[in-house]
Chain A
């Protein structure tokens, strides 16, 4: 008896642990190998860009929390920078420093989550994820004591930040950044030379530097392919030009490099936070802006180096109280442009690891 070797369609998701949200993959399999892969997205589409056209510039800040809900601070920051450029608002120095501190804390929290779930996808069920959640939890506590929210922070304002951190914030953040390097060393010992992890991630989902650049890949994925491109260095916003930090890069561009780049970036973020706390200037934390903010007609594209890559906000004003057009350049979505290229020909478990290494947040993909 012979069996026909026909391709078959395998459906992953929309509800599946490895899809990190409500995200569906339709995979055409030829035996163990992936012949074609198609993603079906939109389950979380909330039409943020349309909603923003009927809300004032300030009312739009909470929406940005809910796009990438694992990096609300970075989203707040990117949008506020765009609105400030559009309206010509200057930000006090203290606010710039506070923005850097919170954006970097957010990066550590997001990379903890990203690396933790990636390891989860690679088969190390839950233990490393819970280790990394331990530190993320402390960062979320810091957010809570400052602005009252843990995930949807709504902390940045056009012209600065909403609140000065309370007095108990400073000892807590200092204790955390003293502790974090040891914790990151702990992850390194636990994971980096782990033979199973190496076998699962080395030379899997390889992306060359040229492909990554042409495919609009940004953030840790681009750096893992060996391109030292970081907007905090290339186009410094806030006060990043005053801090000393390195851009970690990978060599191969595989899943392992992406994991390592994120791990190293957490160390660099600790360095930045330490410097920002040491030099934190006194003064106001916010510039007062008119309640009825009507920027001149024009457009602004501001971007920040979010945890997942270039997080851009393109805002067009027609002189009215609400943005005429509001577009979010979502790194989670655009980093998936080359998913097909990375996954076709690979085996199914490798594709799951590759998807995990892109560190997607479905709220940001669908918006």
Chain B
């Protein structure tokens, strides 16, 4: 997949990040850099403060359920340098997923992390106000998880196009 028009090479970010925050980077690809979920604050603080990276704004934060693990995706934006950095954190514990909150670095994470908690059930350590947001306290499930709605013969996603006949293997 091609990178966004102003997105930094993940390998390049990983190289600089490994030197500054040793041991934080786990995987680097063309598009993104994957970090340890326990090092989010260190990594974000460095990306935020470093003059070259200059990740001044957390432009987007969301979670992706990958069945056996979760991904938290951070889209960081430099306004002065005009580039975008994509950082991911891989949460291997699907049952009790938790990750450091980046609220200490970005106040803009306040509602975005709450949304991920509400809909995906990922706990953000250090978040000042982690409550349900769209759903109510006590709602028994996290709808954006792939295992939500365990109805017989219902599998998440769309198995085939509406006009196609027969089921396809996914």
Contact = CB atoms under 8 A, between A and B. Distances in A.
Interface of A: 41-42, 45, 47, 49-50, 53-56, 85-86, 211, 213-218, 227, 229, 234-235, 291-292, 296, 298-303, 310, 312, 314, 316, 318, 320-322, 324-325, 327, 329, 333-334, 336-338, 366-367
Interface string B1-35: 11011100000000000000000000000010000
B158 A56 contact: yes
27 contacts: A42-B133, A45-B135, A47-B143, A53-B157, A56-B158, A56-B162, A213-B57, A215-B110, A216-B58, A216-B106, A216-B112, A218-B59, A235-B4, A291-B163, A292-B161, A292-B164, A298-B1, A312-B59, A318-B157, A320-B159, A321-B161, A324-B157, A325-B62, A327-B62, A334-B108, A336-B111, A366-B134
Given A54-B157, A321-B158, A321-B161, A296 B1 contact: yes
B144 A214 contact: no
A314 B60 contact: yes
A162 to B, nearest CB: 19
B73 interface: yes
Q: How large is the interface on B (under 10, 10 to 19, 20 to 34, 35 or more residues)?
A: 35 or more
A50 B57 CA distance: 27
A236 B44 CA distance: 27
Main secondary structure of the interface of B (DSSP, over half): loop
Nearest to B155: A54
Interface in B94-111: 106-111
Interface of B: 1-2, 4-6, 31, 56-60, 62, 64-65, 73, 75, 79, 82, 86, 106-112, 115, 119, 133-136, 143-144, 148, 156-164, 170
A336 B62 CA distance: 17
